[in-house]
Each structure stands twice: as C-alpha cells, then as structure tokens.
Amino acid sequence: MPAMVFRHDGTPPTRGVAVPPFYAGQIGAQAAQRARRGLEVIPMHFGQPSEGASPGAVGAARAHLEGRLEGPSGYWESPALRERIALHYREQHALEVAPERILLTTGASAGLVATFTSLFAAGDRIALARPGYPAYRNALRALGRVPVEIDCGPEHGFRLTPALLPPPSEPLHGLLVASPANPTGTVLGAPELAALAAECRRRGTRFISDEIYHGIEYGQPGATALEFEPEALVINSFSKLFRMPGWRIGWLVAPESCVPALHSHLINLFLTPPAIAQHAALAAFDDLELLKRSVQTYAANRARLLEALPKMGLPEIAPPEGAFYLYVDVRHLTDDSLAFCKVLLDETGIAAAPGIDFDPVLGNAFIRFSFAISEREVDRAIALLGPWVARRTKSARVAEGGHRNSG
C-alpha cells in the first residue's frame, strides 16, 4: 500500500470527490453582508418562497412544542402523514398509491441521495437535462455515479425528449426528469412524460421524476410520472408549494420492490425527518387553498416580469409554465454570469442566481430570477433593473465599438 502523502503543514490530503459549490450561495453571502449594512436587497436568487409556512403548519408545530399535540418528538416516521400524502395523490391525480410505498425524507435532497445510492451502482449512468438543478449532477459525481447531461437549451425549447437521449447502444441505467423544472420552469405535458416513460421501459432504464414544484403551474396542472409508469420513482417535498424549505421534510413514492432498500439507506444516512416537521406537514394539507393564493401571486409576478424585461432589453426568456423562475439570456451583456450577478447586486440590490450553477457549459450566458417574492418587491426590481440594464447595454456597445476600431 503506498504511503499517504501529507501536505507541507502536516495535515493529510483531501481525498474526496471535488464538486462545484452552489454559486448562488456566493450571491446569498454577498446579499447577507449587504443587508447587515442596512442596504436594500431584493431576494431573487434562492429557490424558495419568501412567505413562510402556513398558519396551520406553524400552529401544529407550536402545539407540539408546548405538549398540546400528541405524538413522538424523537426519531419517528408518521403513518398519518404517509396516509395523507396517499390521499393527496387520490385528490390531485385520481391515483391510488399505497401508503406503504411512501417514504418520508429529510427534504427532497435526502430522497435524491438515497435514490442514487440504493438503486444504482458506482459507475452507473443516469441521464438528466442541462440546464438543470446543480445538485443532480454534483451528487451523482460525489457518489461515484455518472451524470449524462443532455443539452436541452433554447433550440430544444428547454424540453427533454426521447430523441435527445444517447443512442440505445450506450448504457443508460436511469433517467431523471424534473417537471416543473428548475431553472426554466418547463412543464412536461402528459404526452411528453408518457413518451419518456415508454422509452425507459424499452431500454430497461429506471425512470425518476422530481416533482418538487408540483402545484405551481400557470396552465394545465402538472401530470405525475406515476400516471404513465407505475414503477417510476417520484421525489417531492414540502419546500415549494407548502412554503416549508427550512423544515426539511419531503417524500418518495417508490415501487414496492424498492421500498426496503430505500428505507435502509434513508435510515442509515439520515435517520428520520424532524418530528416537528412531520407534525407541521400533516397540518399544512389543511391549508392548501390558502397556499394556492401564493401561486396566484407568483402568476402576477410572472406576468409583470414577462412584460417588463423585454422592454428593458432582456427579450430572450424561457416563459415558465411552472415553478417560479425566469431563465434569462444575458449573453449580449456578459460572458461571466457569476461576475454579472455580483455587480448587479452591488449596484442595484437585486440578487439573482448565475446560470453557471445550472449549466456548466452554456450557463455563463444566463441568469435566473426567482419571482417567489412580493408584488411590491417585483415592482421595485423592475424600477431598478431597467436603468441598470440600459447603462450596461450602452457600456457593452461602447466597448464593442472600441474593439472594432482598434482592429
């Protein structure tokens, strides 16, 4: 066995798999510093609702803490919550899902990790759309699985189709889709999901559907992969529609044959979700109608931004069909989306996420705005962004003209 090589300071080397950071986190840290100085921040960078959990969820949590709500407070998995999630599929999708197929997770992230570790071996190839949520590819790489990124850029309407998948001669052990998608808000309709499910069956590829933004759509309600593939594995969470990102509570719907392995990985890697979050999540279902009012606010914000941004010189936008993001092409203004977002925040107070988070190949040409904020904040962002983009555009033209003249 070769000797371990130590660094000059005597500490052992870092031997883990290097993965990129969340670059939006750098924007978040800059925004927090700005806020501590008493300066304005419009938070359009993180993928979370600005409103907190619903009154019912907060009330249940408070009652549990005060001992007025019966139920465990330690390691625990709520049978009542699994049954309520099963009822949710009956109410929203007319599907019968056995509660025994539902696993509670410490947020959707734990569900992703357990899925990758329990259902795939090291070296297995899992396809996913690019641009997409960065933790997909980063978690796969950290766990020794191989992300197969499929370019689903503007020329493809940001939509993953069977035709874009690698040829059948190349092994594909899994396909992970997200609908509505982050960062584009793309919603795959029933025919599109059905076609992908059929292609997975034909290839013997496991079909995984991230449905964390379900319930946040601006047209037809989103379809679940379970409608087209009963053996699909579905990931969901209380972070988006239910406005509970910090509570760390989500769920998986898994084929019956996969439940024991998934549960073993979940319990070993994460134990159980916080008991207080499980109590709150159960109560949150009683507030669904109230929570849908937030979606109405998102819809109004979406419409306002889609009207305003093209007028200020940002016409290349993927119109989101769901979720609460605008993925905006800014290639005429920058070739470094992270630096662009840092300057934007420093000069206006508007915090946006750099496209390099979501697309390591073409993402420097894009930024993502979250509109899960108040209508007042959206109006303020528009008022600040318009003049700033005009100045930036003028500077870019002057620089381009100087470059041509010098040539």
Residues 107-117: tens digit of each pLDDT: 999 999 999 99
Is residue 223 within 8 A of residue 190, CB to CB? The reply is yes
DSSP 92-140: HH-----GGGEEEESHHHHHHHHHHHHH--TT-EEEEEES--HHHHHHH
Q: How far is Cα 197 from Cα 162, in angstroms, rounded to an integer?
A: 9
At 345 the pLDDT is: 98
The percent of residues in the chain predicted with pLDDT above 90, rounded, is: 87
pLDDT of residue 69: 81
pLDDT of residue 1: 45
Over residues 213-243, the pLDDT tens digits come to 999 999 989 999 999 999 999 999 999 999 9
Q: What is the 3-state secondary structure (H, E, C) of 67-90?
A: CCCCCCCCCCCCHHHHHHHHHHHH
Those residues whose C-beta lies under 8 Å from the C-beta of residue 339, and which sit 6 or more positions away, are none
Regions in the chain scoring below 70 on pLDDT: 1-8, 396-407
Q: Which of 168, 188, 286 is nearest to 229 (CA)?
A: 188
Predicted model pTM: 0.93
Residues across the chain: 407
SS3 content of the chain, % helix, strand, coil (to 5): 45, 15, 40
d(CA 178, CA 160): 10
Which residue in the block uniquely carries the two structure tokens 């959206």?
378
**Do the Cβ atoms of 341 and 27 come closer than 8 Å?**
yes
Q: Give, in order, the Cα–Cα distances in Å from 50 to each of 15, 189, 241, 407.
A: 38, 28, 12, 49
* Residue that is written with structure tokens 């439940």 in the block: 259
Provide the token pair at 33: 């510093």
pLDDT the model gives residue 354: 98
Token readout for 285 is 């279902």
All residues at 6 or more sequence positions from 340 whose CB lies less than 8 Å from its CB, including other chains: 330, 333, 334, 354, 367
Q: How many whole angstroms separate alpha carbon 124 and alpha carbon 140?
A: 9
pLDDT digits (tens, 9 = 90+) for 31-73: 999 999 999 999 999 999 999 999 999 999 999 999 888 778 8
